[in-house]
């Protein structure tokens, strides 16, 4: 396949601009490296492209989502589970939906900003319950890096001294909302711990970024850069060094290697003109998410790597896991007739229920529960949901 080769040989080529790629670009450019970053999606800037203060009624779609914007028309999410031109297969008898972001900053644009540390027990779970594997490192090995991230991006919370929920270098936590106070009261009666949440949203000015003004729309992209994403916090200072080149619409196809099997660059396809390009680099960093990086390594076959990069044992792409969870919804009848008030706060939870019952042997599963709360009066949606009839006898107004 004919290709176009860029003349520059970079120190590092990073594939992906999300959490891993953004931090790698920040650290490497600050250290003096000349870096090129490949992003499969388009350019994205929250101030320019976000819809932070747009009402749903301003759109003919009333904010309803599409395949390319599955969480809502105004959500800061380009990507989804079903991306045009990017099909994937599933093993027979299995069901798994693959979410992929296609925008500068990746999934840091539309995550919940929940920023928890692994605790000491999380590194030695096999020794505790016999499941999984112990890590070759412990919490104390990572603590200095956790601290540096706290100071760089800004995380609010409070020092609680809860075992296996390590405290950090926190900004002040916002006060709980009304419904969160009721959750805390009920949980306390059951002996369930409740503490202030820990989110990467500023409650004080930090590094030229202003504190959150409580519009509650973090999911739409923060025009004030008060919450964390790589394209608001990490990439701007990396670009300011003059040592970062970002190439959007660049779908990585293969890691290039020499006769010794060492990486020499990356081949990518421009998703706009569908032509193949090659960038050369002394080091290649794959930060395209676990599954995308595995796909790329499988594609990177050569005489030295006939089964793909780092796949001599045929485990590449196996044993991957996804985040799982469940939800329960309800309402407080005491709050039904409460006068309308500003209950927004940050775009996420103000309280958090840390892990408990993790050592209860009577449960049919290991490691207990934790709960990430959500609620309150948010901005009205784009229409009445299927459950509106169930609320007719509970809400006033006809």
Query: Which residue, among 149, 181, 152, has the nearest Cα to 166 in the 3D structure?
Result: 149
Give counts: helices (H), strands (E), the chain: 8, 11
Global pTM reads 0.90
The Cα–Cα gap between 146 and 120 comes to 13
CATH superfamily for domain 1-112+228-324: FAD/NAD(P)-binding domain (3.50.50.60)
Q: Note the pLDDT of residue 46.
A: 85
| pLDDT tens per residue across span 277-289 | 999 999 999 999 9
| pLDDT tens per residue across span 253-308 | 999 999 999 999 999 999 999 999 999 999 999 999 999 999 999 999 999 999 99
Range in 93-107, 245-259, 285-299, 369-383 with the lowest mean pLDDT: 369-383
pLDDT band at 381 (very low <50, low <70, confident <90, very high): low
Q: Is the pLDDT of residue 69 over 60?
A: yes
- Is residue 48 within a helix (H) or strand (E), and if so which, with residue range? helix 46-49
Q: For the chain, give the mean pLDDT.
A: 90
| pLDDT tens per residue across span 173-199 | 999 999 999 999 999 999 999 999 999
Alpha helical stretches, state H, the chain: 19-30, 46-49, 125-129, 139-153, 178-189, 235-240, 290-299, 388-391
pLDDT band at 398 (very low <50, low <70, confident <90, very high): very low
Is the backbone of residue 221 left (phi > 0), alpha (psi -120 to 50) or beta?
Answer: left
Q: Which of residues 94 and 158 earns the better pLDDT score?
A: 158
Question: Per-domain residue ranges for the chain?
Answer: 1-112+228-324, 114-216+329-398
pLDDT band at 37 (very low <50, low <70, confident <90, very high): very high
Range in 76-85, 139-148, 264-273 with the lowest mean pLDDT: 76-85
The Cα–Cα gap between 44 and 46 comes to 7
| Inter-residue contact 14 to 38 (CB < 8 Å) | yes
DSSP 223-268: TT--B--IIIIIHHHHHHTT-EEEE-SEEEEEEEE-TTS-EEEEEE
Q: Is the pLDDT of residue 137 over 80?
A: yes
Q: Note the pLDDT of residue 4.
A: 84
Polymer length of the chain = 398
| pLDDT tens per residue across span 196-229 | 999 999 999 999 999 999 988 888 889 999 999 9
């Amino acid at each position: 396949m004919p290709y176009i080769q860029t003349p520059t040989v970079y120190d590092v080529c990073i594939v992906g601009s999300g959490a891993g790629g953004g931090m790698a670009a920040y650290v490497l450019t600050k250290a003096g490296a000349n870096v090129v970053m490949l992003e499969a999606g388009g350019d994205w800037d929250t101030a320019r492209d976000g819809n932070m203060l747009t009402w749903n009624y301003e759109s003919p779609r009333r904010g309803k989502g599409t395949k390319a914007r599955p969480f809502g028309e105004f959500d800061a999410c380009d990507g989804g589970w079903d991306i045009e031109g990017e099909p994937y297969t599933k093993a027979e008898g299995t069901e798994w939906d693959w979410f992929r972001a296609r925008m500068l900053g990746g999934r840091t644009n539309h995550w919940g900003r929940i920023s928890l540390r692994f605790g000491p027990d999380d590194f030695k779970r096999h020794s505790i319950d016999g499941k999984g594997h112990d890590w070759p490192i412990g919490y104390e090995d990572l603590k200095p890096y956790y601290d540096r991230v706290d100071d760089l991006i800004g995380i609010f919370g409070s020092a609680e001294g809860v075992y296996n929920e390590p405290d950090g270098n926190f900004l002040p936590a916002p006060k709980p909302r009304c419904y969160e106070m009721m959750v805390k009261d009920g949980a306390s009666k059951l002996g369930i711990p409740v503490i202030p949440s820990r989110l990467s949203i500023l409650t004080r000015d930090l590094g030229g970024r202003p504190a959150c003004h409580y519009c509650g729309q973090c999911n739409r992209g923060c025009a004030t850069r008060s919450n964390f994403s790589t394209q608001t916090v990490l990439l701007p200072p990396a670009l300011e060094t003059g040592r970062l080149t970002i190439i959007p619409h660049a779908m990585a196809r293969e890691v290039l290697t020499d006769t010794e099997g060492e990486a020499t660059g990356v081949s990518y396809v421009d998703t706009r003109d569908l032509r193949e390009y090659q960038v050369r680099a002394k080091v290649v960093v794959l930060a395209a998410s676990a599954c995308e990086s595995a796909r790329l390594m499988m594609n990177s076959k050569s005489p030295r790597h006939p089964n793909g990069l780092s796949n001599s044992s045929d485990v590449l792409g196996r044993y991957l896991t996804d985040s799982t969870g469940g939800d329960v919804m309800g309402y407080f009848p005491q709050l039904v007739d409460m006068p309308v008030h500003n209950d927004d706060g940050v775009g996420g939870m103000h309280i958090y229920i840390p892990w408990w019952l993790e050592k209860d042997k009577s449960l049919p599963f290991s490691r207990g529960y934790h709960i990430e709360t959500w609620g309150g009066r948010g901005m009205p949606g784009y229409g009445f949901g299927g459950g509106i009839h169930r609320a007719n006898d509970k809400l006033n107004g006809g």
